[in-house]
């Protein structure tokens, strides 16, 4: 049986599948050529991340497909219900990348409160001639300890973000349409563990109380954050989006940082991928990464192994 990992898969995942007798193909096939390639090579399983889309046209035109796998959480690039109606299994790895995404959120947070995103741009340019001026510009940083972190969406990733926030001494609050309360277990290196109960609060309350907001919701039809929501946030607050492009109105976001309503913002997922708007890319108050939340070696290993295990359980 043949597996096409069109957006790549970890060596550990490949090794696990090949050991079980699967042929793993890691050729990246262009979207418009996928149907022909799948049929020519009689592909049984296609694995994707966020780049490749598996829509109804592929599902209808490729009778050899038995499994569609998504390396990650969100499956908005797959017509999931339609595939399942055609008896094609659709799998993903919802827990494998949670810790990696959460750590990226805090990379942006630590960088934001100490202006690293801007300092790293300007030090190479002016560090030798304007050192004292730059030191003054970047000297008004803030600590995260004691501040309030608001988490919108308290699923697996949101809970990992909460754990790090608690470890940093932050007050953690959360809003979630589908959850009233949950217990966060924070594990330490010496096998000790502490439990923290989080009671979710209304979204409007979270907007008013948070010093920093981290967004962890699936793809939405409409914006969750626009001009109205930004205006309700604290003056000088900040927001991080490592969830999905389109949950934040980027035009309203730029306006909010430009008029100093927000002190900074961080974006890992964009409205227009893979070609984010130039006005977003060039704004000096935005901390930006190219959709790398799950892109750690550890997460990719977990994703590959978990996908391989699910494929073997279904087909063997």
Q: Are residues 165 and 278 in the same domain?
A: yes
pLDDT value, residue 277: 97
* Count of beta carbons in the 10 Å neighbourhood of residue 36: 12
What are the pLDDT digits (tens) for 6-35?
Answer: 999 999 999 999 999 999 999 999 999 999
What are the pLDDT digits (tens) for 282-296?
Answer: 999 999 999 999 999
Nearest to 181 by CA among 173, 191, 193: 173
CA distances from 263 to 109, 224, 230 (A): 11, 19, 12
Q: Are residues 80 and 164 in the same domain?
A: no
pLDDT value, residue 219: 87
Q: Are residues 256 and 112 in the same domain?
A: yes
Given the residues 49, 291, 302, 306, select the one marked as catalytic: 291
What are the pLDDT digits (tens) for 234-280?
Answer: 999 999 999 999 999 999 999 999 999 999 999 999 999 999 999 99
- Give the Cα separation of 33 and 268 in Å (integer): 28
What percent of the chain has a predicted confidence (pLDDT) above 70? 100
Q: Are residues 51 and 65 in the same domain?
A: yes
pLDDT value, residue 179: 95
Q: Are residues 144 and 80 in the same domain?
A: no
pLDDT value, residue 96: 94
Strands 23-25 and 45-48: unpaired
Any catalytic annotation for residue 273? yes
pLDDT value, residue 50: 86
- Give the Cα separation of 61 and 39 in Å (integer): 8
What are the pLDDT digits (tens) for 266-275?
Answer: 999 999 999 9
Q: Rounded mean pLDDT of 192-197?
A: 97
Structure tokens at 104: 């990226």
Given the residues 103, 209, 255, 273, select the one marked as catalytic: 273
Given the residues 229, 244, 250, 306, select the one marked as catalytic: 244
Q: Are residues 143 and 261 in the same domain?
A: yes
Q: Are residues 55 and 136 in the same domain?
A: no
Q: Are residues 7 and 139 in the same domain?
A: no
User: In terms of DSSP H, where are the helices of 147-296?
Assistant: 156-167, 203-209, 227-232, 250-258, 278-281
Q: Are residues 119 and 165 in the same domain?
A: yes
Q: Are residues 253 and 116 in the same domain?
A: yes
Q: What is the CATH number of the domain that holds 23?
A: 3.40.50.720
Q: Exposed, middle or buried: residue 216 (CB in 10 Å: 0-12, 13-18, 19+)? A: buried
Any catalytic annotation for residue 216? no
Structure tokens at 194: 């502490």
- Give the Cα separation of 180 and 201 in Å (integer): 8
Any catalytic annotation for residue 291? yes
Banded model confidence at residue 1, pLDDT cuts 50, 70, 90 = very high
Q: Are residues 73 and 131 in the same domain?
A: no
Q: Are residues 150 and 254 in the same domain?
A: yes
User: In terms of DSSP H, where are the helices of the chain?
Assistant: 11-19, 34-41, 56-61, 80-85, 98-113, 116-126, 131-137, 156-167, 203-209, 227-232, 250-258, 278-281, 297-315
Domain that holds residue 12: 2-93+297-315
Cis? peptide before 46, omega within 30° of 0: no
Strands 181-187 and 193-199: antiparallel
pLDDT value, residue 205: 98
- Give the Cα separation of 22 and 93 in Å (integer): 20
What are the pLDDT digits (tens) for 74-95?
Answer: 899 999 999 999 999 999 998 8
What are the pLDDT digits (tens) for 143-188?
Answer: 999 999 999 999 999 999 999 999 999 999 999 999 999 999 999 9
pLDDT value, residue 300: 94
Number of domains observed in the structure of the chain: 2
């Amino acid at each position: 049986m043949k597996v096409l990992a069109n957006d790549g898969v970890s060596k550990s995942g490949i090794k696990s599948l090949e050991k079980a007798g699967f042929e793993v193909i890691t050729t990246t096939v262009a979207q418009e050529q996928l149907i022909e390639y799948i049929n020519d090579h009689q592909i049984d399983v296609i694995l994707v991340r966020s780049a490749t889309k598996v829509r109804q046209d592929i599902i209808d035109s490729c009778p050899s497909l038995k499994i569609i796998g998504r390396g990650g959480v969100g499956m908005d690039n797959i017509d999931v219900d339609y595939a399942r109606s055609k008896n094609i299994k659709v799998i993903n790895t919802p827990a494998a990348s949670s810790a990696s995404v959460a750590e990226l959120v805090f990379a942006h947070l630590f960088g934001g409160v100490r202006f690293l995103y801007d300092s790293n741009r300007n030090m190479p340019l002016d560090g030798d001639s304007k050192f004292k001026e730059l030191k003054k510009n970047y000297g008004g940083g803030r600590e995260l300890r004691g501040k309030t972190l608001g988490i919108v969406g308290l699923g697996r990733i949101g809970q990992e973000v909460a754990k790090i926030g608690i470890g940093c001494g932050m007050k953690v609050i959360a809003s979630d349409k589908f959850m009233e309360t949950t217990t966060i277990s924070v594990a330490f290196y010496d096998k000790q563990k502490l439990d923290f109960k989080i009671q979710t609060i209304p979204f409007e309350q979270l907007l008013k109380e948070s010093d920093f907001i981290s967004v962890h919701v699936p793809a939405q039809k409409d914006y969750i954050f626009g001009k109205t929501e930004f205006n309700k946030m604290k003056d000088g607050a900040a927001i991080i989006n490592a969830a999905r492009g389109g949950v934040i109105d980027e035009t309203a976001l730029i306006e909010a940082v430009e008029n100093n309503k927000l002190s900074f913002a961080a974006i890992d997922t964009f409205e227009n991928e893979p070609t984010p708007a130039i006005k977003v890319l060039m704004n000096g108050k935005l901390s930006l990464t190219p959709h790398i939340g799950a892109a750690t070696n550890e997460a990719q290993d977990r994703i590959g192994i978990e996908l391989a295990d699910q494929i073997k359980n279904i087909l063997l």
